[in-house]
A and B are shown apart, each in its own frame.
Chain A
Amino acid sequence: MATPVVEASEPDNYYGYRRFRKGKFEFQRDEYFVHIRWPKGTHTMAADVFLRALQRDIAWNFFYGTVNFDGVFGTLNHYGTVDIFAGRFNDAYRKAGRDYNETYASDELMATFKAMLDDWTNRGYDPFAAPEETKHPYGRKDGENRRAIERLRVTAKRMVGLPGDTPLRSDAGGYPVNRHFADVPQDRPEIHAEPGFENEVSAFNLFAYLSRSDVTWNPSVCSVVKDSLYCPTSEEFILPVEHGNDRVEWFMQLSDEIIWEIKHKETGAPRARVICRAGDICAMPADIRHQGFSPKRSMLLVWENNSNAIPALIQSGKAPVVPVVF
């Protein structure tokens, strides 16, 4: 396949940032803001809000369903192709006919998104980090932070720590315990394997593993039962996107607290607030969008069903938008 074309301007004489164009969408940043233009409108977002969302959309390869950067702009994954939209999931824009949508091969849009994130992320700013842990992203262009933005998402094939699978985290490996998890025990399970079963008698300290995560809001696969993926993650501050999943996902709160704001997936109308504390477990229906607020860094188990048959089943009404009816 040909290398996707990235349409970028020369750096701006004053701000130092490049402008980007994908189809009829235009993206521009200044000291504080990102400005988006499309044939039917314009939109403005704070640069940090935009960059944190862009970072997640890239790291998750457009994720499941809709990634709303805010109430107006976002992407909708069709797994191979992806929509880039403005106002598509906003009641007022839809009713006024102001919503706008373009579809691209995923790799093609990804190339532009990656180039934009790279150009607009300054030295010392880490879009994966909580605001207390990183410099602010404002101001004119100042260097880059490729080491931060090119981190790979962890995806275990069977379980973290198994031979040949994704490794445990340690000080030596560059994963110190996060300041908010300084009190999390780092003990290990006792493992007594009989000869010949060393590869199968296996266990690890998941809470210690999560206490050493250097990113926030980045669900990473840690254990796998066929299409059932445990994607635990450490959370602090605000989920940078409003996620409108195309299937049911589940949250099991492992520590501390997250407050979820739930809105209607299509219109954005508020539906509920869900408060999750340690041990709480709940489903996110397939017809909502959710955004989480974590006052302290917390451990969240995101549980996904990766079956690619599900979105069509739900869209056609063959499967309900809730996981259990009782």
Chain B
Amino acid sequence: MSDVKTVFGALDNYQKGGVEVIDDDPRNYVFSNVFEVAARSKPYERVAVGKNFEYVIEAVRAEGTSPWYACAHDEFALVMDGRVEVRLLKPETPAVVADKAGAVALGAPPVGRKMGRVVAGRGHMTLLPKGSAYQFHADRASVVTIQTIQGEVTIERWADICQTG
């Protein structure tokens, strides 16, 4: 039996590193921790923790049931801690225009066909296929990161989450 220990983080158990400056400004590294961000977020706030032009990585505290979202392009949800159910639905009529960037929160559950659901644990990546609507559910607080494009649900609070000194 191997005694190797792989260290993953969790909402209530993470050890943050950081920037040790020699001749630099730590802000240049936009350094944060997804568990810390989720620990300080309300359920299903989609907080940008990475940004490269229009593209973002959002950190999400998944807890209880989320709104329904729709997106015109693919997105990918990676569970970093806990267990999250992803419910997928194909709307009868498109829920967003074809060139819309980022996810959109829908006011009401869309009318359409059930596509299925995924129950994802730590380390599992789920496709949120373009043109579908989706909803997250987590019985206990969990952490998800989403590979997507910045949109109207994306929250930016860099000064609050990043190392500044």
Q: Which residues of A are interface residues toward B (Cβ below 8 A)? A: 158-160, 162, 179-185, 187-194, 197, 200-208, 211, 222-228, 230, 247-250, 252-257, 262, 269-285, 296, 303-305, 307, 310, 319, 322-324, 326
Contact = CB atoms under 8 A, between A and B. Distances in A.
B23 A277 contact: no
Contacts of B15: 277-278
Contact of A283 (B33, B50, B115): B50
Given A193-B116, A223-B76, A200 B129 contact: yes
A207 B122 contact: yes
B27 interface: yes
Given A189-B120, A276-B17, A183 B4 contact: yes
B57 interface: yes
Interface of B: 2, 4-9, 14-24, 26-36, 49-53, 55, 57, 73-76, 78, 80, 86, 88, 90, 113-127, 129, 132, 145, 147-149, 156, 158-159, 162
Nearest to B164: A326
B20 A273 contact: yes
Given A200-B115, A280-B16, A283-B29, A187 B121 contact: yes
Contacts of A185: 121-123
A211 B32 CA distance: 25
Contacts of A204: 124-125
A282 B126 contact: no
B123 A207 contact: yes
Contact of B74 (A158, A253, A274, A281): A158
Contact of B7 (A202, A227, A278, A326): A278
B118 A191 contact: yes
B41 to A, nearest CB: 14
A214 B4 CA distance: 17
Contacts of A160: 125
Contacts of A250: 50, 52, 57
Contact of A183 (B2, B35, B74, B121): B2
A211 B52 CA distance: 27
Contact of B6 (A181, A275, A307): A181
B7 A277 contact: yes
Given A158-B127, A255-B6, A281-B31, A303 B50 contact: yes
Which of B8, B17, B120, B124 has the largest number of chain A CB atoms within 10 A? B17
Contacts of A206: 78, 123-125
Given A254-B80, A324-B158, 13 more contacts: A159-B76, A188-B124, A202-B118, A206-B123, A223-B76, A225-B74, A250-B57, A277-B17, A278-B14, A279-B36, A282-B30, A322-B30, A324-B30
B22 A270 contact: yes
Given A183-B5, A197-B115, A271-B23, A279 B125 contact: no
B4 A180 contact: yes
A314 B158 CA distance: 22
Given A180-B6, A227-B55, A283-B50, A192 B116 contact: yes
Contacts of B51: 323-324
B31 A280 contact: yes
A185 B114 CA distance: 30
Given A271-B24, A282-B29, A322-B30, A303 B145 contact: no
Contacts of B23: 269-272
In the A-B complex, list the 4 residue pairs whose CB atoms are closest, starting with the nearest: A207-B123, A275-B17, A279-B9, A278-B9
B69 to A, nearest CB: 15
Contacts of A191: 116, 118
A188 B125 CA distance: 10
Given A180-B6, A255-B7, A272 B127 contact: no
A179 B27 CA distance: 37
A197 B116 CA distance: 7
Which of A190, A256, A310 has the largest number of chain B CB atoms within 10 A? A190
B55 A280 contact: no
Contacts of B124: 188-189, 203-207
B29 A285 contact: yes
26 contacts: A159-B74, A179-B2, A189-B126, A192-B118, A200-B132, A201-B115, A202-B118, A202-B127, A205-B123, A228-B55, A250-B57, A253-B17, A256-B6, A257-B17, A275-B17, A277-B16, A278-B9, A278-B15, A279-B35, A279-B80, A280-B17, A281-B33, A281-B49, A323-B50, A324-B156, A326-B27
